[in-house]
Amino acid sequence: MLLPRAVRTIASKPIRTVLRWQLYVAVALTLVAGWWAGAHGAISALLGGIVNLAAGLVYAMMVSPRGRAKSAGEMLRTLIRAEASKIALIVLQLWLVLTTYHDVVLIVFFAAFAISVLVFPMALLVRD
């Protein structure tokens, strides 16, 4: 798996599971897009999937407890910072891909991104 040490430091089993699912979805979409749209389609799908995977990994590492939160307010601040970091990283990565990779297949890129975004809330379905 990508970045195994970083993923192992994440205390939440549901988030680790969902990150693994996002990786599987990105790889599957890469294979399908490669068959459908060629090499640039495969690269576009992989990049679309990795954008949200990387952002989810940053979110998980920020939220993963390094100890007990002292208060509900502290936990809320941590969650808000993590979500803001995730959104900022997504925007930065989308901008980076769209400005540097000139052969991006837009429909494939955004479809892979959207599908990987839809996988993240499934953490609610995974038991601890």
Q: pLDDT tens for residues 37-78?
A: 999 999 999 999 999 999 989 988 888 776 666 788 888 998
pLDDT of residue 26 exceeding 90: yes
Task: Answer with the residue of higher pLDDT: 15 or 30.
Answer: 30
Kindly report the backbone phi and psi dihedral angles of residue 3, in degrees, each rounded to the nearest multiple of 5, phi listed first. Answer: 50, 60
41/48 Cα distance (integer angstroms): 10
In the chain, alpha helices (H): 4-8, 13-63, 72-100, 106-119
Across all residues in the chain, what is the average pLDDT?
87
55/13 Cα distance (integer angstroms): 17
pLDDT of residue 101 exceeding 80: yes
pLDDT of residue 27 exceeding 70: yes
Tokens of 41: 């389609």
Q: Work out the widest C-alpha separation in the chain, in whole angstroms.
A: 52
